[in-house]
Structure 1
């Protein structure tokens, strides 16, 4: 694990969770650190090395000191099908327990790599490990080698503060699961139902309680937390979270803005499943602000019945639209059969674009023809929408996504919800949803109309979204809040190394 040659003695090792939404921002962070002359190593599986090598290779060619550490992912030993090295490749989320068992098996080979470096007296030993919060064994590893451990959390500070308030108050335990309650102790009046809460407070059919408890316990032992957000978008909640973490919180986002060239933006973290020029040509043919871009994330898997409502809601909105269709999952073939039998792709070809698999999302969102973003409210996508200055149609699915929706709709006032009622737990992708839990096409159409409308409320929403987009871009420029936080993080670790 020899660090790349660099005059700066600092060497950061980044350990992401093996899932696109977790790896991509880690790679973005690596570029930001390397631009400050820090040597960076990123732990990846062989599958993810194939996916992300082009972006890293371009960074190295530009003079940045970054390397990928390829480590064998023990799929078969953990009971996973061969080649399942990332969460988005699991044939079913019923394998999620096996997936985390495989991750646990990575501790020994990584510690062997660190031991080798120390025994060889490498001139740039590991100065700091930035670990995804779900890689909980890194807490023990960092204790063993006396290396500072910083948690990377893919959530925002609002979600962190809300989660802490829920954990302390237990207010969600006091009523029926569909009854709204007020979260105590927040700067704003925020309501949820228990059905809308993440698995820590609202467990699903898969037993990952042990993982969640380990995450919370090992977070307490971390030296600090790096957050993919910017202070201006949630200032009061950043201040609250810093109080909880004794000031050791560095907001360094939006990390998506770290990509500078068109190629890095169009292939950010992966190979797009559509020719970028083809996509841009299609967008060039649409009126400014007229297109609704819809993508429900890399891990969300709709039932065929829900996909039908999704697609027909877009069609009935009468707006030009882009829809990203999953290629993986147990129901993907059934969905493709419906698309063909219904004829929707052919019927809407003049104003609809169907993208299979991975889309060049950041590039699409920044195009002048796009006027709204229908999103699952995963924080990466939410922040990309904020950075593009777009109002959003919010359709949270699982994890903390209902909390992100509340930030968009209730606090920032830049979004409209489709009326999703509760989380779809991991493992629920293979459970047929009852009709009363489906988000109806009429609800999707109505939310799109409200976001895209020209009346006063729509114009005000777009104005606010544009202002937040300008704040996001200024935060990462020289002198901006996130730019300075990267500097402060590096200085903090430098001081630790000197001791």
Structure 2
């Protein structure tokens, strides 16, 4: 409404629209927690979505159905006594740009992936698709002009089918992110500075904020289960940096041959280990727990990964290089043992292994069945303080930079403060909408 021709102003109120998958939802909630601690933005709302997906659900095709939320959200916002002044949505939900346009408010795209991946996706979606599987893919405009084998390209791009209505909708959604008023990336300057600079040039608005690692926000704290208490009690008996932690995330189940090799390698390595197998214990090789009872632990169900990685006893992390896991490992200062499978994981592995030297390649590909003796040697070397000294030093340096970034005066702290101030100014220019 307006009074005497002067628009009335609304207090800041952020509407968060998450993508309902664990890897997307958790960092957005961490970001929301951090945002809610800023006095300038005291209010936020978020639709209540389940984070559990049926097995085999393709994230990109799920995104096709979520635009149906636009009309209910628009109706809710227009009937709310304090309508949103900002829309913040996951980058898989580009259609939220239309919602923000309808409400005449700015939209911020939240990227729960690294800036390297954001830059690659933006370049690929704007380019000629589909790609040629017989050729490597060169990302010419990006820093260093990185090249990838076709199979290392993010699977959401490789799965695109030209002319298919669902996939054209997916592509449109990603392209709409370029129209967002601003972009938030769960990363930090010291890790991806050159790619963040590229994004600022590419998007053209200069409002790209790296505010990570957001898992440092502290909003995931919860009471330990009795099983977790037992695990941490055991870890406390282990020497510093002597334990290998193995986990492939919440969405991946290793096939039997792969699980057998991993179990055999952990057993043969002689190293202490924690293996997070998730809910499906069928992946465990028969008798492994009994044979390694003195130096190994298996975590079933949800693993308190951040706390495990930050325990002084843990020195290495066998990871699929999903971005959340990558950042959590980096922040903990452990050596990453990279086994990328799909999605953005090959890009993340390239970043930590080749560009930062804080990780070592352990294996590659969702179908890989590596030699167990070779993998066992990787595990043994990873917790041998006389090996990989340069990798350990670089992992420690990167962890220190991550910690400094979120402290007062650090790059991520300053970026968040800057974002809040710019959002507050933008909200002052949002007029109340007649309903």
TM-score relative to the length of structure 2: 0.87
Counterparts of 1:283 and 1:381, CA distance in 2:
20
1:315 and 2:263 are equivalent in the alignment: no
1:211 to partner: Cα distance: 4.8
Relative to structure 1, the CA distance from residue 44 to residue 303 in structure 2 (aligned partners, 3 Å threshold; closer, same or farther) is farther
Q: What are the within-5 Å matches in structure 2 for residues 227-266 of structure 1?
A: 227-246=185-204, 247-259=206-218, 264-266=219-221
Counterparts of 2:257 and 2:202, CA distance in 1:
43
Deviates more, 1:129-138 or 1:184-193: 184-193
1:174 to partner: Cα distance: 5.7
Q: Judge conservation of contact 2:131–2:158 (CA < 8 Å) in 1.
A: no
Q: Unpaired segments of 5 or more residues in structure 1?
A: 1-7, 49-84, 425-432
The aligned residue for residue 153 of structure 2 is: 197
The aligned residue for residue 432 of structure 2 is: none
The aligned residue for residue 249 of structure 2 is: 297
What SS does structure 2 have at the residue aligned with 1:302?
coil
1:493 and 2:423 are equivalent in the alignment: yes
1:203 to partner: Cα distance: 1.8
Q: CA RMSD in A?
A: 2.6
Relative to structure 1, the CA distance from residue 172 to residue 283 in structure 2 (aligned partners, 3 Å threshold; closer, same or farther) is farther
Counterparts of 2:185 and 2:328, CA distance in 1:
15
The aligned residue for residue 24 of structure 1 is: 26
Relative to structure 1, the CA distance from residue 33 to residue 96 in structure 2 (aligned partners, 3 Å threshold; closer, same or farther) is closer
1:134 to partner: Cα distance: 1.4
Aligned length: 415
Relative to structure 1, the CA distance from residue 149 to residue 443 in structure 2 (aligned partners, 3 Å threshold; closer, same or farther) is farther
Counterparts of 2:137 and 2:63, CA distance in 1:
33
Relative to structure 1, the CA distance from residue 292 to residue 472 in structure 2 (aligned partners, 3 Å threshold; closer, same or farther) is same
The aligned residue for residue 184 of structure 1 is: 140
Q: Judge conservation of contact 1:200–1:212 (CA < 8 Å) in 2.
A: no
The aligned residue for residue 128 of structure 1 is: 86
TM-score relative to the length of structure 1: 0.77
Q: Judge conservation of contact 2:407–2:413 (CA < 8 Å) in 1.
A: yes
The aligned residue for residue 13 of structure 1 is: 15
The aligned residue for residue 444 of structure 1 is: 375
Q: Unpaired segments of 5 or more residues in structure 2?
A: 1-9, 430-435
1:441 to partner: Cα distance: 2.6
Q: 305, 319, 322: which one pairs with 1:361? A: 305
Counterparts of 2:237 and 2:150, CA distance in 1:
45
Counterparts of 2:130 and 2:175, CA distance in 1:
21
What SS does structure 2 have at the residue aligned with 1:368?
coil
Relative to structure 1, the CA distance from residue 280 to residue 470 in structure 2 (aligned partners, 3 Å threshold; closer, same or farther) is same
Q: What are the within-5 Å matches in structure 2 for residues 80-479 of structure 1?
A: 85-86=50-51, 88-93=52-57, 97=61, 99-100=62-63, 102-117=65-80, 120=81, 122=82, 125-166=83-124, 173=131, 176=134, 182-188=138-144, 190-203=146-159, 209-246=167-204, 247-259=206-218, 264-267=219-222, 275-327=227-279, 332=280, 334-335=282-283, 339=285, 342-421=286-365, 424=366, 437-455=368-386, 458-479=388-409
Q: Judge conservation of contact 2:319–2:337 (CA < 8 Å) in 1.
A: yes
1:305 to partner: Cα distance: 2.0
Structure scoring higher RCO (CA < 8 A, sep ≥ 6) equals 2
Relative to structure 1, the CA distance from residue 198 to residue 496 in structure 2 (aligned partners, 3 Å threshold; closer, same or farther) is same
Deviates more, 1:168-177 or 1:129-138: 168-177
What SS does structure 2 have at the residue aligned with 1:285?
coil
What SS does structure 1 have at the residue aligned with 2:158?
coil
1:489 to partner: Cα distance: 0.9
